[in-house]
Amino acid sequence: AEMAVSLALDQLIPLFKKEAKLLGGIHKEFKDIQHELECIQAFLKDADKRAEGDNTNEGVKTWVKQ
């Protein structure tokens, strides 16, 4: 039984290490995406405010709508 556990550990440890590296990389990717979406959200809020004005040109209104 000890040999079976040893064999399992020998094969599982490298897999766990790879999984940990992948998950660590994913965490950074999620943070990057979150920051990007926050920037887009702030930019769109500003654009919406500008589009509400009467003197806003049609190009800006169309851009905000899209």
Q: What is the mean pLDDT of the chain?
A: 77
- pLDDT at position 55, please? 62
Domain coverage including residue 14? 1-61
What is the 3-state composition of the chain as percent helix, strand, coil, each rounded to the nearest 5? 90, 0, 10
Instruction: Assess if residue 66 is contained within a domain.
Output: no
19 falls within a domain: yes
Rounded-to-integer distance, Cα 40 and Cα 52, Å: 18
Give a yes or no: residue 50 inside a domain.
yes
Condensed to tens digits (0 to 9), the pLDDT of residues 21-47 reads: 877 777 778 788 888 888 888 887 887
Q: What's residue 1's pLDDT?
A: 56
Domain count, the chain: 1
Task: Give mean pLDDT, residues 45-53.
Answer: 74
- Give domain status of residue 39, yes or no: yes
> Which pLDDT score is estimated for 53?
66
